[in-house]
Chains A and B, each alone.
Chain A
Amino acid sequence: MSVPETKELHVDTDAGAVVEIRGLRKSFGAREVLKGIDLDVAAGEVVCVIGPSGSGKSTLLRCVNQLEVATAGTVTVLGTETTDPDVDIDAVRQKVGMVFQQFNLFTHQSVLENCTIAQRRVLKRSRADAEKIAQANLAHVGLEDRASAMPAQLSGGQQQRVAIARALSMDPELMLFDEPTSALDPELVGDVLSVMRALAEKGMTMLVVTHEMAFAREVADRVVFMDDGMIVEQGPPEQVIGAPTHERTRSFLERVLDPTHQHPGDL
């Protein structure tokens, strides 16, 4: 499934922004979690959002497909302003795949049903078509032989790959990943990341909230560092992760890349 020549899609930023976020603010009660975010994601671009927990990364991602309703500002996805209350959000969500930290597979349905239910009910595909597409996507994530299994019979890594196949079965134009490997045992992380890498190589537009610095460095076109509800710095991975300019980015990366590291002042 590796198609190297589609890599050029990454450079093709003329296609316009898939996601345009302007002045996005989000408060939960009195606590402001997003304090004015501006961010664009171009077609075919892979953007990784990193930052300490509680920095608002997940909320930012959830505002893109309106799982969280923005307090102020606008979010435009594939040309539709999703923050407009009158917009048909279901129509936008059909084209935006989302992968959750906790997988969220439908626990009462088999793997195949998980991957076909939305195709049939939302896209009105026939059962035969939906199953063919689902099987193809399950094959992409290496689980074609588990189609009849129930989610509880799978490992966390397998469940997350099914979740990716489920999202891909809707033929999305944008994929959102909300810490997709954070709930996995360390030895299962690799399988999920390689599925995501293959997806990026095929030219999928991806917005990924992650703590996997190696993945961000290797796959991302751009890395965004967030702290305290704001974007502190962004740029190519070699710059943000390799040579961060801000003190907050540096201290975060030091903590993440070397968890046992202590500042002399901490002792």
Chain B
Amino acid sequence: MTSPAPAVARPAPHRARMSPRRRARIFRGVQYAILVAAVVTLFLLIDWERISQSVFNIEAAKDLLPRVPLAFKNTLVYTAASFAIGLSLGTVLALMKLSSVAPYRWIATAYIEFFRGIPALLVVFSFGYAVPIALGVRIDSLTLKAALALGLVSAAYIAETLRAGIQAVPKGQVEAARSLGMSSGRTLATVVIPQAFRIVLPPMTNEIILLTKDTSLIFVLGLAASQFDLTKIGRDALVSASGGGTTGLFVAGFGYLCITIPLGLLARWLENRTGKGSRR
């Protein structure tokens, strides 16, 4: 038991010329001043005429607009298909990595190390050219080709995320379920996976966002007009006769943000909902 400190009046400390609080206030004022100066300088230096002509041209953006909905839809379809394959395969790989059968663990580890370590673009290329020839198969659907290539890559990341999530569920939760007579499979389904879901939600959101952006790589497969994604229409606009310079790239970029930002908000909403009062 500590007794309360005796209330001895300490002598007032020696006052510096400027109190720390006052110094902090001045320092903050200086930072604002630099910011304002930088913004004003930039504003004055920029050639607004040129920008509105060849960097972001409103007219060119309007011309491009009719092509955006299809490209937006295509990007969403490629992302969803890739994620479906990535999640299915990633789940299998995660369970393999947690398996008590050693060769399963080795195979999963080798797969993950391989696909995590090579650029996604290489995989897309090989699905465009090498793999169908090597396996003697024809993959007619471009969506399937793209989804296989990107799904194989993202499965490696998703597997690691899921494995970490499953292992983060406290051992006591499993023991409690088993002590109630649940089989290990039943325990996995009713206790481990629901809890792991909440843990993996933030990294999984990152994975979907990365995947959304990675769908831009499929231009190397050669796209028909009806298969154009956001990046492709943005890139085409770069060399279009109507001018507008890089306007297309901005339009495409805005299209991606329209997917990724709501995804982030959805994940946060899910996290709040499932996390409601559940951490001990």
Task: Enumerate chain A interface residues (CB-CB to B < 8 A).
Answer: 65, 67, 90-91, 93-94, 96-98, 100, 102, 104-108, 117-118, 121-122, 150-153, 163, 166-167, 170
Q: B172 on the interface (CB 8 Å rule)?
A: yes
Cα A118 to Cα B186 in complex, Å, equals: 10
Q: When the two chains form their complex, are residues A166 and B180 in contact, meaning their CB atoms are under 8 A apart?
A: yes
How far is the CB of B119 from the nearest CB of chain A, in Å? 38
Q: When the two chains form their complex, are residues B175 and A104 in contact, meaning their CB atoms are under 8 A apart?
A: yes
Q: A67-B175, A98-B176, A98-B179 are in contact. List 15 more A-B contacts (CB 8 A).
A: A65-B179, A67-B178, A93-B181, A97-B179, A100-B172, A100-B175, A102-B172, A104-B175, A104-B176, A108-B194, A117-B190, A118-B182, A121-B182, A122-B180, A122-B181
Partner of A106, one of B176, B183, B186, B277: B176
Cα A110 to Cα B182 in complex, Å, equals: 18
Given contacts A102-B172, A151-B278, A152-B280, contact A108 B198 (CB under 8 A): yes
Q: When the two chains form their complex, are residues B277 and A108 in contact, meaning their CB atoms are under 8 A apart?
A: no
Q: Which A residues are CB-close (under 8 A) to B180?
A: 93-94, 117-118, 122, 166-167, 170
> Would you call the interface of chain B mostly helix, strand, loop, or mixed?
helix
Task: Enumerate chain B interface residues (CB-CB to A < 8 A).
Answer: 170, 172-173, 175-183, 186, 190-191, 194-195, 198, 274, 276-280
A-B pair count, CB < 8 Å, reads: 74
How far is the CB of A61 from the nearest CB of chain B, in Å? 11
Q: Which A residues are CB-close (under 8 A) to B172?
A: 100, 102, 104
Cα A105 to Cα B177 in complex, Å, equals: 9
Q: Which A residues are CB-close (under 8 A) to B178?
A: 67, 90, 93
Cα A108 to Cα B276 in complex, Å, equals: 8
Residue of B nearest to A120 (CB): B190
Q: Which B residues are CB-close (under 8 A) to A96?
A: 179
Q: When the two chains form their complex, are residues B279 and A121 in contact, meaning their CB atoms are under 8 A apart?
A: no
Q: Which A residues are CB-close (under 8 A) to B276?
A: 150
Q: Which B residues are CB-close (under 8 A) to A90?
A: 178, 181-183
How far is the CB of B186 from the nearest CB of chain A, in Å? 6
Q: Which A residues are CB-close (under 8 A) to B177?
A: 106, 118
Partner of A170, one of B181, B186, B198, B274: B181
Q: Which A residues are CB-close (under 8 A) to B175?
A: 67, 100, 104
